[in-house]
Amino acid sequence: MAAAVDLRHCMALHQAGQLDEAILCYRRALPQDSTGIQVNRLLGLALFAKGDAAEALKHLRAALARAPREPALLNDIGNALRALGRRAEAEQAFRGAIAANPGFAFAQFNLADALLEAGRHAEALEVYRTILMRRFDGIDADFHNNLGTCLMALDRPQEALTAFTAALKTDATHVAAAAHAGAALQRLGRNSESVAFLRETARRGGATMQVLATLGQGLLNLTDYAPALEVFDEVLRHQPDLERGLTGRGLALSGLRRHEEAMATLDRAAALYPASRSVQLVSGNIRLAAMDAEGAVAAFARAAALPAGSSPDAALALLMFNRLRLCDWTDAAATRQAILAGFANGTQRLPPFEALCIADDPALHLRCANQYAREYQPLRRAALPLGEIGRRIRIGYVSGELREHAVGHLLARLLELHDRTAFEVHAISLGRMTGDPVQARLHAAVDGFHDVSAMPDDAAVAHLRGLHLDVAINLNGYTGDSRTTLFAQGIAPVQALFLGYPGTMGAPFMDYILADTITVPPGAEGFYAEKVVRLPGSFMPTDNLREITIGGLTRAQFGLPEHGIVFCCFNNTHKILPEAFDGLMRILAATPGSVLWLREENAAATRNLRAEAAARGIDPARLVMAARVDHADHLGRHALADLFLDTLPYNAHTTACDALGAGLPVLTRIGEAFAGRVAASLLDAVGLPEMVVDSQATFEARAIALAADPAALGAIRARLAAALDDQPLFDTPRYARAIERALRAMVDRHRAGEAPEAFLVT
């Protein structure tokens, strides 16, 4: 007969961490356990501590068979099941323990953490709150940290910050809570506080990779790229393969315009983390910044093919939009439908600009803009004072495109014509300094030109507030080198959206949007978070002194046939949706000898457009590509074409202005949203409203009819030529006076203590 095993000896081995010896001891003691409960439980706990959850579960269940409502056993079984990834069974065990003993704190803690781990944050929060309300023993720093993590997942960063602060009060060395507190501050828009706090945490010895990576993210949020790069390089010195370190380093390099290094860093991240959707999204965005559209599409396609995370992202929308730039219409209709359905049910994000390009729906545009504006909600717009009465009204035009760009060309003459006795004009550049002739002209046209492109957000805000602007004009919206954070924090007492973004920003920090009666017709104000200010004529400024090559250009120079109709569409390729292209090809098919003159944007787009033409039975040679030329020659070559054919849902904007200014008639189809009504506004302001149609069938029929009737088309050209001198569109001095009346009215309302309100400028 075997000698009796002293169970106290087994337990002593267990408590001393001698798990192998303890397990062996418990196994020898099993036969002498008459109840089958105590030794099975102790053996199960020892096996669990050693990492053998499956074997532990067998013994814990053997004990439970003898004591089916024992709370401690149910809790232990829940822990084993949770370790095995059997979440539903673990939850059932924890709930069973709580049902048997509602005051059993450990089961409450474990249930809350299991729900948090499963992503069931609202349910987890209820359990955490029960624990707090009942003041269970064991509420420690880990508890507060987990509660904060739950609140962050529920997008309640202020409450999360309170929880993380409680964790740090309980244990000042809890570096995970410190890193999470820094992240909560960032979510609240308090990036400078976050950076200072995390730097102090690191200085005190808490420089974990989590703390440093969160510090780096705060610096990225502040657009302070050089120190962000230093931080992420430090992270990678310790953990060369850390995903957050690699993506952060790539974003910092991209912000510093070191694009090749940024892409190489993301290539490494993608090789290490092929199943990471976020790595592919960052890779795609970095490639966009590097002007590598094909590489961006490949990255976004990989992202969209991977399982989605717990939070919705814009992978599918970014994939579709950048495919449009390449005229790659793979599954375009199905992808568009999936994006719109996903946005409606909350599983997809749809960036506002991309929404303008794929849907003629102002209600959708407002919802997308509202969603993006919420990211800036934690930032508090400062209440800034107007300048003293009698001082010139100080205007700041803020743009990332104050250079050789459509915005730069449209804006230059307006800046030159502002009444300097009444207005002081500043240009604030968010984009690169190129030194090109347009940028030089803009520089000379203003009282002050301020390059804040390399300044972190906080420094840029301080600099711009120091200008004491009365009105800050946002020329970017959600496009290009926008710095929405500047407007969210407030850089002027009056802030207005103008020109560069044809839609609402959905944000409370933008007071006005400059439009006209066609782009935002009466009754459409509800689709705009801003108050609508309608200018007379068209909202779009033009250049009455534009330099244009007249004569000396031939069709042969540009690969055009000497005879036959030349249809023209110099719109960006992302505006040419497959349905629009179908219509263009039907027009070519019905007009023998005609060609379509398109902007040459990239080699892939050219290749794809020609293949799509062939697929529709049109000789690809009938698509003629217009390479980039000097701007004056570009304007002048419009005269070689017969008719400009527009697109929907995103019209020709500057391109329509260019065509009309060169005497080339534009045919447009008017839409419902701002972006699809701009060409109609321009045509009305140049006296050609009959060139605006309201259906695709009418658009095609009118184009075909005009191509077949040289006399009718010639009469329209003659009217357009005469209109350039007497219609409002190219009367820039008159336009300047109108926009000044608008700006003065905005300032007067603010000075009178009146809230922004819509008005018509007469």
In terms of Cβ atoms closer than 10 Å to its own Cβ (0-12, 13-18, 19+), residue 497 is: buried
Residues 6 or more apart whose CB falls under 8 angstroms from that of 673 comprise 356, 359, 360, 361, 362, 365, 502, 503, 527, 649
The CB-side HSE value for 529 (13 A sphere, CA atoms) comes to: 24
In the predicted model, is pLDDT for residue 32 greater than 90?
A: no
In a domain, 623, yes or no: yes
**pLDDT tens, residue by residue, 81-126:** 999 999 999 999 999 999 999 988 889 889 999 999 988 999 999 9
In the predicted model, is pLDDT for residue 146 greater than 80?
A: yes
Q: How far apart are CA 475 and CA 501, in angstroms?
A: 7
| Same domain as 606, residue 510 | no
Q: What is residue 2's predicted lDDT score, i.e. its pLDDT? A: 59
List the alpha helices (DSSP H) in 597-695: 603-615, 631-637, 654-661, 678-685
Segment 21-40 shows an average pLDDT of 91
Strand pairing category for 692-693 and 531-534 = unpaired
* CATH (domain of 519): 3.40.50.11380
Structure-token pair, residue 300: 């976004």
In a domain, 131, yes or no: no
Q: What is residue 105's predicted lDDT score, i.e. its pLDDT? A: 86
For residue 437, which amino acid is it? P
| Same domain as 620, residue 516 | no
| Same domain as 581, residue 521 | no
Q: How far apart are CA 429 and CA 439, in angstroms?
A: 10
In a domain, 580, yes or no: yes
**pLDDT tens, residue by residue, 92-102:** 999 999 999 99
| Same domain as 704, residue 587 | yes
For residue 725, which amino acid is it? D
Query: Hey, what long-range contacts does 206-211 have (CB within 8 A, 24 or more apart)?
Result: 206/173, 206/175, 206/178, 208/175, 208/176, 208/179, 209/235, 209/238, 209/239, 209/242, 209/245, 210/175, 210/176, 210/179, 211/175, 211/178, 211/179, 211/182
Q: How far apart are CA 137 and CA 345, in angstroms?
A: 41
Percentage of the chain with pLDDT > 70? 100
User: For residue 223, which of 201, 198, 193, 256 has the smallest C-alpha distance?
Assistant: 256
Segment 580-588 shows an average pLDDT of 98
**pLDDT tens, residue by residue, 632-674:** 999 999 999 999 999 999 999 999 999 999 999 999 999 999 9
Q: How far apart are CA 378 and CA 75, in angstroms?
A: 40
Residue whose pair of structure tokens reads 């309302």 in the numeric block: 749
| Same domain as 528, residue 574 | no
Which 3 state secondary structure label does DSSP give 27? Answer: helix
Q: What is residue 424's predicted lDDT score, i.e. its pLDDT? A: 98
CA distances in angstroms from 58 to 5, 41, 88, 373, listed in the order given: 22, 10, 18, 53
Q: What is the mean pLDDT of the chain?
A: 96
**pLDDT tens, residue by residue, 437-469:** 999 999 999 999 999 999 999 999 999 999 999
In a domain, 248, yes or no: no
User: For residue 400, which of 356, 452, 443, 448 has the smallest C-alpha distance?
Assistant: 452
| Same domain as 598, residue 522 | no
Residue whose pair of structure tokens reads 């095609």 in the numeric block: 700
Residue whose pair of structure tokens reads 């711009």 in the numeric block: 464
Counting the structural domains of the chain, the total is 3
In a domain, 27, yes or no: yes
Q: How far apart are CA 739 and CA 745, in angstroms?
A: 10
| Same domain as 486, residue 440 | yes
* CATH (domain of 651): 3.40.50.2000
Which of 503, 534, 565 is a domain's end point? 534
In the predicted model, is pLDDT for residue 309 greater than 90?
A: no
Residues 6 or more apart whose CB falls under 8 angstroms from that of 205 comprise none
Q: What is residue 103's predicted lDDT score, i.e. its pLDDT? A: 86
In the predicted model, is pLDDT for residue 189 greater than 90?
A: no
User: For residue 342, which of 369, 305, 315 has the smallest C-alpha distance?
Assistant: 315
* CATH (domain of 28): 1.25.40.10
Question: What would you measure as the largest C-alpha separation in the chain, in angstroms?
Answer: 119
User: For residue 626, which of 664, 668, 569, 576 has the smallest C-alpha distance?
Assistant: 569
**pLDDT tens, residue by residue, 717-737:** 999 999 998 899 999 999 999
Cβ atoms of 242 and 216 within 8 Å: the answer is: no
Helix (H) or strand (E) holding 207: none
In the predicted model, is pLDDT for residue 1 greater than 70?
A: no
| Same domain as 715, residue 566 | yes
Q: What is residue 311's predicted lDDT score, i.e. its pLDDT? A: 83
In a domain, 496, yes or no: yes
In a domain, 679, yes or no: yes
**pLDDT tens, residue by residue, 463-508:** 999 999 999 999 999 998 999 999 999 999 999 999 999 999 999 9
| Same domain as 721, residue 593 | yes
Q: How far apart are CA 519 and CA 676, in angstroms?
A: 8
Q: How many CB atoms lie within 10 A of CB 451?
A: 15
| Same domain as 678, residue 581 | yes
Segment 704-725 shows an average pLDDT of 97
Q: What is residue 652's predicted lDDT score, i.e. its pLDDT? A: 98
Please state the φ and ψ torsions of residue 393, each to the nearest 5 degrees: -65, 130
User: For residue 77, which of 44, 119, 113, 117 has the smallest C-alpha distance?
Assistant: 44
Q: What is residue 136's predicted lDDT score, i.e. its pLDDT? A: 82
The CB-side HSE value for 167 (13 A sphere, CA atoms) comes to: 24
Q: Is the peptide bond before 649 cis (omega within 30 degrees of 0)?
A: yes
Which 3 state secondary structure label does DSSP give 429? Answer: strand
In a domain, 652, yes or no: yes
User: For residue 340, which of 325, 309, 361, 311 has the smallest C-alpha distance?
Assistant: 361
| Same domain as 583, residue 723 | yes
The whole domain housing 474 covers: 393-534
Q: For Cα atoms 186, 190, 196, give the angle at the middle one, nearest 5 degrees.
A: 90
| Same domain as 710, residue 600 | yes
Query: Hey, what long-range contacts does 608-614 have (CB within 8 A, 24 or more apart)?
Result: 608/326, 608/327, 608/328, 608/329, 609/327, 609/573, 609/576, 609/581, 612/327, 612/329, 612/578, 612/581, 613/585
Bridge-partner residues for 424, per DSSP? Answer: 394
In the predicted model, is pLDDT for residue 4 greater than 70?
A: yes
In terms of Cβ atoms closer than 10 Å to its own Cβ (0-12, 13-18, 19+), residue 332 is: middle
In the predicted model, is pLDDT for residue 711 greater than 60?
A: yes
Cβ atoms of 334 and 347 within 8 Å: the answer is: no
**pLDDT tens, residue by residue, 328-345:** 999 999 999 999 999 999
For residue 90, which amino acid is it? A
Cβ atoms of 430 and 398 within 8 Å: the answer is: yes
